[in-house]
Amino acid sequence: MAEESNYTDDSIRSLDWKEHIRLRPGMYIGKLGDGAAYDDGIYILLKEVVDNCIDEFVMGNGRTVDISIKDRQVKVRDYGRGIPLGKMIDAVSKMNTGGKYDSKAFKKSVGLNGVGTKAVNALSSQFMVESVREGQIKKAEFERGELINDYPVEATSYRNGTKVTFIPDEAIFKNYQFRMQFVEKLLWNYAFLNTGLTINFNGEKIQSENGLKDLLQQNLSDEPLYPIIHLHGEDIEVAICHTQAYGEEYHSFVNGQFTPQGGTHQNEFRAAYVKTIREFYGKDYDASDIRSGIIAAVSVKVMEPVFESQTKTKLGSTEVGPDGPSMRAFINDFLKRELDNFLHKNPEVAEQLQRRILQAERERKDMAGIKQLAKKRAKEVSLHNKKLRDCRVHYNDEKDNDKKIETTLFITEGDSASGSITKSRDVNTQAVFSLKGKPLNAYGLTKKVVYENEEFNLLQAALNIEEGIEYLRYNNIVIATDADVDGMHIRLLLITFFLQFFPDVIKNGHLYVLETPLFRVRDKQQTFYCYSETEKREALEKLKGKAEITRFKGLGEISPSEFKYFIGDDIRLAPVIIGSDTPVQKLLDFYMGKNTPERQEFIIDNLKVEKDLIEESL
């Protein structure tokens, strides 16, 4: 008989605010992570602080926000009203305390629950808040939520506003680093949604004059088929364009808050857009054809928005306010009026848009028969040939974003590498897909080849992304190839596949490259796994040079017992990020096209640069 648990009065504990946040950080900032993903917790901490600055700007207080990130220390300074000095400490350390509960003070606020800054405080090894109001300044310092210095109010000549300085706690965010691409995208989103706002970030100025039109222009990865459609209304702004790329791409916002998971406003926009287009052309086009290749941004402002989590990544509101219309009626009426008027006034845009719809329709019908055969083949091969060693749970098993379990698919080359990962993986959350040789170069090919090529078809089926990434089975797709010439080539071919056919996978931060150690340096007492020559030199210094050095030439040479360390809690992932300065098609044309002489010259020039750098370091 099992031993009876000792469940008494002493088993019941009451946690104070900071203990609860540190014990359950996911409830407040989503996933933790090391900064390799755009929605990792360190960026949520930054966002929570900046949200308060944006609320001040929206209310007409302060037009500039100064932000710096250096050596993991984050500083955010606004020039708003400043936190009331007598309540400043409570505002950053007492739950359910803040000004956002007074709807007169913050009518359409981003922050709602009086939680954000407290979470930053509790999850930071160092946290300092300073508030300036009408010639007086108040400062307080905390460590992991514990007040350590409460400074008296002093006179000052500083401008009104609030300054928050914090360092995320490495005990919570292990081996983290801020990736500037993610930070800059976050800050640019604030600028796009708040014309007139200036953000100074690490010496660079971030501001936008044309709102969502600028956002779309910056995020276009292919040539637009027509000039961006930019529509304004009371409490709503929309920008729309089409490219030749596959899939759909949306950037949605509520009260200036980026909602990467979408929500009711994005869903109603997609439906209203289809309805408006059908009525304009008088044709019952398929919804997928109408939205094929679309890139759109929609921003709405609502009273007392309801989000599906504290991180505010998905809107749940069905109304635009307590006394307002439904979200559906609000967006549908706007598009019916403004988009319909625009297309009537711009027949050349309407003609180009219809041409894109008809192109999508032809491609869809052309692939109809091939799709059925490909699906059947994918099921047969996956079952019998063990192409996919699946995990027990999948990312899309759970509808609630806060309860979803992170899952990973490793794409490997060869049986030895896939065997090592398969034996050392977490069978609950990590799956392995084994490639057979080098994939096809997908550049310039149509999506038809995805169904005709066995490797592409099986990979698409494993990921469950045929109709887009809404039902993606693994939120982390990791390319795990050898760190040699062949491995690098396979990486490029796989990245090309995703860029060509499923760019949403990359744009939404799902694709990574696994970093594995190049060297093992050890003596009889200690072992170091080194990912670079620099780390190898540091290891040799620690072992005073008396060590055995092993150079790993391929993943298959790393035993499963060792591999478990590289795909566990300390996994190193390099995110695949699309820069905003080069269109995807131009990028692919240069690196994967047939411009051999140009590419050869580029490689030779860069090899010379690399050789010079190596010689300088020796």
pLDDT of residue 15 exceeding 80, the answer is no
pLDDT in tens, 544-554: 878 899 988 77
Contact 65, 197 (CB under 8 A): yes
Fold classification of 385-516+554-581 is Rossmann fold (3.40.50)
pLDDT of residue 219 exceeding 60, the answer is yes
pLDDT in tens, 424-467: 899 999 999 998 888 898 888 888 888 888 888 889 989 988 88
- Rounded to whole angstroms, the Cα distance separating 182 from 462 reads 28
- Rounded to whole angstroms, the Cα distance separating 32 from 390 reads 25
pLDDT in tens, 41-99: 999 999 999 999 998 998 889 999 999 999 899 999 999 999 999 999 999 988 755 55
How many other β-carbons are positioned within 10 Å of the β-carbon of residue 541?
Answer: 9
Q: What is the 3-state secondary structure (H, E, C) of 106-151?
A: CCCCCCCCCCHHHHHHHCEEEEEEEEEECCEEEEEEEECCEEEEEC
Question: From the CA atom positions of the chain, what is the Rg in Å?
Answer: 26
Q: Give pLDDT, residue 13.
A: 56
Q: Which of 185-199, 380-394, 566-580 ranks highest by mean pLDDT?
A: 185-199
pLDDT band at 179 (very low <50, low <70, confident <90, very high): very high
**Least-confidence region, from 33-37, 371-375, 428-432, 602-606:** 602-606
pLDDT band at 344 (very low <50, low <70, confident <90, very high): very high
- Does the domain made of 17-206 have the CATH classification 3.30.420.40? no
pLDDT in tens, 276-330: 999 999 999 999 999 999 999 999 988 888 877 666 778 888 888 777 789 999 9
Taken as a whole, the chain contains a residue count of 618
Fold classification of 212-363 is Ribosomal Protein S5; domain 2 (3.30.230)
- Rounded to whole angstroms, the Cα distance separating 308 from 313 reads 7
pLDDT of residue 152 exceeding 70, the answer is yes
**Least-confidence region, from 90-104, 228-242, 325-339:** 90-104
Contact 324, 305 (CB under 8 A): no
Domain boundaries defined on the chain: 17-206, 212-363, 385-516+554-581, 519-551, 585-618
Q: Give pLDDT, residue 5.
A: 57
Q: Tell which wins on pLDDT, 503 or 339.
A: 339
